[in-house]
């Protein structure tokens, strides 16, 4: 169908906007709600969503006879490790800074692919990756002390841990996708997140004798909307869009569009949180985006050449 490619690109762009809004929403929720309250309630919505979709037959889940070790590794990396450190990072820094650092995801993914999948980068890719690193370093160093004098360094460290976890997650998820469907992976991630984060949160409330206030954040309609957005729109709708684009566009091409996430995060931080847009944010963003596009462009060319050689070898 001639409209499939434009639809796929549109979905990839819209997915980046969805995730950028999530960054903003999480930051705002953490101003008044504890970290594990946010994570527990978010994944309750997510788990309820995937269970409902399974009950009405919208998604098919069949784990019988499959080795779920790979799925457990994926679930530990994300949501467990990733979302804890993402939330801590966002709480201790600005939306602008967090968005810029998260734009390093393609670089971390390429490195993890080299380690886990034994895929190597060529010289031109490495050159553009250096641009990404320089851009991130500019933003990190210049943002390490905010205008209030409060150090953002701890927030940056937390976001970097989340970043590494996300890069490893994408690589491990690719391996798991050889056995499990994308819906099965998403389903287990949602259920695992709901179980683990709610166990932790219940333990915290029992220790503090605050179990009666467990669902207090849901007494406000704006919080219900926020949790529904994070748990359903981000964890189900955006993931579905991502899976659709992967079926139509090469993964390397999609990853080159991740710079849009950075741009959206900066724009939303400036518009809704009145965060200052500094010249170093602009310089860092340009370097990160150009570096990400260049690295993935030459990765794409390498894949074309390798596929051509492989196919020619079959013909000989």
Alpha carbon distance 159, 316 (integer Å): 50
- Return the closest-CA partner of residue 288 out of 22, 99, 81: 99
pLDDT digits (tens, 9 = 90+) for 231-240: 999 988 887 7
Please tell me which residue, 246 or 285, carries the higher pLDDT value. Answer: 285
Residue 148: band (very low, low, confident or very high) from pLDDT cuts 50, 70, 90: very low
Is the pLDDT score of 39 beyond 90? Answer: yes
The pLDDT value recorded for residue 144 is: 56
Residues 6 or more apart whose CB falls under 8 angstroms from that of 216 comprise none
- Return the closest-CA partner of residue 295 out of 167, 108, 162: 108
3-state helix, strand, coil in the chain (%, to 5): 80, 0, 20
- The answer to whether 80 and 193 have CB atoms below 8 angstroms apart is yes
- Return the closest-CA partner of residue 294 out of 159, 128, 136, 74: 128
Instruction: Tell me how many degrees the CA angle 196-199-202 measures, rounded to the nearest 5.
Output: 145
Residues 6 or more apart whose CB falls under 8 angstroms from that of 122 comprise 298, 299, 302
- The answer to whether 243 and 182 have CB atoms below 8 angstroms apart is yes
H-run or E-run covering 167: helix 153-176
pLDDT digits (tens, 9 = 90+) for 222-259: 999 999 999 999 988 887 777 667 656 655 556 666 66
Residue 200: band (very low, low, confident or very high) from pLDDT cuts 50, 70, 90: very high
Alpha carbon distance 29, 174 (integer Å): 32
Query: How far apart, in Å, are the Cα atoms of 185 and each of 36, 59, 163?
Result: 23, 12, 20
- The answer to whether 147 and 201 have CB atoms below 8 angstroms apart is no
Determine whether 306 is exposed, middle or buried from the number of CB atoms within 10 Å of its CB (0-12, 13-18, 19+): exposed
Residue 168: band (very low, low, confident or very high) from pLDDT cuts 50, 70, 90: confident
Alpha carbon distance 52, 61 (integer Å): 12
Alpha carbon distance 312, 1 (integer Å): 28
- The answer to whether 110 and 252 have CB atoms below 8 angstroms apart is no
Please tell me which residue, 168 or 216, carries the higher pLDDT value. Answer: 216
Average pLDDT, the chain: 79
């Amino acid at each position: 169908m001639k409209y499939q490619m434009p639809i796929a690109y549109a979905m990839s762009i819209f997915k980046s906007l969805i995730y950028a809004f999530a960054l903003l929403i999480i930051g705002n929720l953490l101003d008044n709600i504890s970290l594990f309250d946010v994570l527990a309630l978010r994944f309750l919505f997510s788990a309820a969503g995937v269970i409902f979709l399974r009950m009405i037959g919208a998604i098919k889940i069949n784990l019988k006879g499959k080795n779920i070790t790979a799925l457990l590794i994926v679930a530990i990396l994300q949501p467990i490790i990733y979302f804890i450190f993402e939330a801590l990072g966002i709480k201790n820094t600005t939306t602008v800074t967090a968005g810029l650092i998260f734009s390093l995801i393609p670089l971390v993914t390429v490195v993890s692919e080299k380690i886990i999948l034994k895929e190597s980068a060529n010289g031109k890719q490495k050159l553009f990756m250096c641009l990404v690193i320089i851009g991130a370093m500019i933003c990190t160093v210049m943002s390490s002390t905010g205008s209030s004098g409060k150090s953002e360094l701890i927030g940056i460290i937390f976001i970097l841990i989340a970043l590494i976890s996300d890069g490893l997650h994408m690589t491990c998820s690719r391996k798991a996708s050889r056995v499990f469907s994308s819906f099965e992976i998403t389903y287990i991630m949602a259920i695992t997140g709901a179980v683990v984060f709610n166990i932790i949160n219940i333990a915290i409330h029992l220790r503090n004798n605050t179990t009666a206030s467990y669902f207090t954040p849901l007494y406000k309609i704006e919080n219900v909307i926020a949790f529904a957005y994070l748990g359903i729109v981000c964890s189900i709708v955006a993931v579905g869009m991502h899976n659709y684009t992967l079926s139509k566009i090469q993964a390397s091409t999609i990853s080159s569009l991740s710079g849009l996430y950075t741009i959206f995060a900066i724009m939303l931080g400036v518009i809704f949180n009145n965060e200052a847009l500094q010249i170093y944010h602009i310089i860092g963003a340009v370097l990160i985006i150009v570096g990400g596009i260049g690295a993935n462009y030459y990765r794409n060319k390498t894949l074309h050449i390798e596929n051509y050689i492989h196919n020619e070898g079959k013909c000989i």
